[in-house]
Every structure is written in C-alpha cells, then in structure tokens.
Amino acid sequence: MPLRLTLLIAALLPATARAAHTNNIMLTGYWPPTNNMIRGFSTNPDQNPGGWQGENWNDTGYDVHSFFPEFPDGIGQGEGDLEVDYQDTSADFWRIVEEVRPVAIITFSRGFNDNSWEIEKLQRNLDEWIPDYQAPFQPTVSPPDQSVPAGFVRESSLPMRKIRNAVDDEPGIDVDARIDARGFGGGFLSEFIAYHGVWYQSLHADPSDAFWNVAAGHIHVGSQVSLADGRRATELTLGALTTYLDNQLPEPGTLLLLATTLLASLRRTP
C-alpha cells in the first residue's frame, strides 16, 4: 500500500483505532473478605498455590491480576503487598501499575458490617487522613496528588450501574449491590487506595496514551459477605467491566475491515 494512502487511512480512522493499551485488569484488596475473594487472580504461588485463573479470563481476552496483603494476626496492618499503611500502599501501588500497566483497575476494601457491595462514585484528595497503624501515621506527601488542590474529588469511571445490576440480578447470592453517589470512602486507607486508582486512570485517560486506562474505581465489600458470594460477585463485576471495555476499545478485526473497505473505495475513485 502506498505510504500516502496508508497515512490517509490512519488519519481518517477514529482516535481510538490508533490507541495502544494492554489487556491487563488490575484488582487490589485489603482486609478480608476482599483479599481472599480475589486470591485466584494472583500470579504469586505463595499467595495462590491453586494456580492463576486470570489468564484470558473466561475467554474474554483480558488477563486479570490481583494484589493484596495477608493478615496472619487478624485485622490490622497486614503484611506483604499493599499493607494497610499509607507509605507502603502508595509505594506498592505505583510499582505495581508500572509493571502491569492496567487497562482497568478495581480497588476493593472491607466496608460496613453487612452484606453490601458498595460501588463508590467519589474519591477525595485529602490533606488529613485517619491515622494508620504505625508512624508516620499520615501520608508523607499530603494531599497525595500535588497536581490538584486538597479536597479535589475524582470520580469512578467504572460502569457502576452495569456492575450493580449484574450483582443484584444474580440469583442465589446474598449480596446487596448499591452505588454510593454522594458519600465518600471514609478518609482511611480505603479511600486512599481508591483515590490512587482513579488518579492513575486520569493520568492515562487519553486514548492515544501508550498505556490507555479506560476505567478505574472502588468497591467497599461488607464484612458479612461470604467468601463464595464475594468470589461470585467479583466475577459478575468483572463480566460487566469486560463487556464495557469491549465497547470502548477498538476491535482489531473491525479496524482491519474498515481500512480494507476504505482502501477499496479509494481505489475505485477516478
């Protein structure tokens, strides 16, 4: 194909057709049940001896990767990746996204003492947080995102209604899915990592970004959600997310057909 014609086709294709992105979805957890319900998506054999189930998850074409701490002494700071500590969480988060370069992120944490699956719409860039478990008890850069003022709010870009409906419509699980459209994530580590997720998405929201991130957001999981129901709700959430991603990302076959059709049309032009 002549270079001039190739450049013309590239110019006429939508911006998303020229985008680059990975097929990696990143999940994070904190306290149980959130670490245990995403354990099967970890590639770490020490944390997931049963083997990684995230490769080409459900034949969707997406690889799902999970990261979470362990709590051998019960609820608290934990140990390992993403300890419930401001400095550790932030350092681990930025290291992990550099490795995974996710096209989408869902951060999970333990919520109320109920069976809720609470999809958080709003995350704040606070300059004062609830103290964590060991000194320094606050983020050492606060607010964490210095590009915007303290109190700045970033919104979830997850398909929130689709996730809520998918979980609510599933028979046989005791999970109450809802969207928190007005509240916030509590000012502790849950909202801290939630903000990191949507912050990363904002940095890579341009479809021309080499590591385009389409969606990110946070879900609070009630402590009474059973492990089986948490796993099933995670699958339903991922199903809604991957369908949404499919509708946002370009299809290579579709783009090839478009380019071929355009080329044939141009060749017929006198």
Question: Omega into 131 within 30° of 0, i.e. cis?
Answer: no
Mean predicted confidence (pLDDT) in 235-247: 97
Mean predicted confidence (pLDDT) in 99-125: 98
Does residue 5 sit in the same domain as residue 56?
Answer: no
Determine what percent of the chain is predicted with pLDDT higher than 90.
83
Does residue 1 sit in the same domain as residue 47?
Answer: no
Does residue 238 sit in the same domain as residue 203?
Answer: yes
CA distances from 221 to 76, 118, 155 (A): 17, 6, 19
Mean predicted confidence (pLDDT) in 224-249: 97
**Crossing angle of helices 3-12/252-268, nearest 10°?**
120
| Amino acid 75: pLDDT | 87
28-47 pLDDT tens trace: 999 999 999 999 999 999 99
Beta-strand relationship, 215-221 and 116-120: antiparallel
80-111 pLDDT tens trace: 999 999 999 999 999 999 999 999 999 999 99
CA atoms of 220 and 243, how far apart (whole Å): 22
Helix (H) or strand (E) holding 86: helix 86-100
- The answer to whether residue 244 scores a pLDDT higher than 70 is yes
Does residue 3 sit in the same domain as residue 63?
Answer: no
Which amino acid belongs to residue 225?
Answer: V
Closest CA to 244 of 205, 202, 215: 215
pLDDT level of residue 19 (50, 70, 90 thresholds): low
Does residue 14 sit in the same domain as residue 43?
Answer: no
If you count them, how many residues does the chain have? Answer: 270
Does residue 69 sit in the same domain as residue 91?
Answer: yes
Q: Determine the structural domain holding residue 171 and report its residue range.
A: 22-249
Does residue 13 sit in the same domain as residue 111?
Answer: no
- The answer to whether residue 266 scores a pLDDT higher than 60 is no
Lowest mean pLDDT, pick from 67-81, 162-176, 247-261: 247-261
Kindly give, in sequence order, each residue whose CB lies less than 8 Å from that of residue 36, ignoring residues fewer than 6 positions away. Answer: 29, 227, 230
164-176 pLDDT tens trace: 999 999 999 999 9
Does residue 97 sit in the same domain as residue 68?
Answer: yes
Number of domains comprising the chain: 2
| Amino acid 251: pLDDT | 63
Mean predicted confidence (pLDDT) in 198-216: 97
Does residue 117 sit in the same domain as residue 9?
Answer: no
231: domain CATH number is: 3.40.630.20
| Amino acid 250: pLDDT | 79
Which amino acid belongs to residue 253?
Answer: G
CB 104 within 8 A of CB 135: no
Mean predicted confidence (pLDDT) in 185-196: 97
45-59 pLDDT tens trace: 999 999 999 999 999
Q: What is the pTM of this model?
A: 0.87
pLDDT level of residue 255 (50, 70, 90 thresholds): very low
CA atoms of 22 and 38, how far apart (whole Å): 20
| Amino acid 231: pLDDT | 98
Does residue 209 sit in the same domain as residue 140?
Answer: yes
pLDDT level of residue 267 (50, 70, 90 thresholds): very low
Does residue 160 sit in the same domain as residue 243?
Answer: yes
- The answer to whether residue 270 scores a pLDDT higher than 50 is no
Does residue 12 sit in the same domain as residue 57?
Answer: no
- For the chain, the average pLDDT equals 89
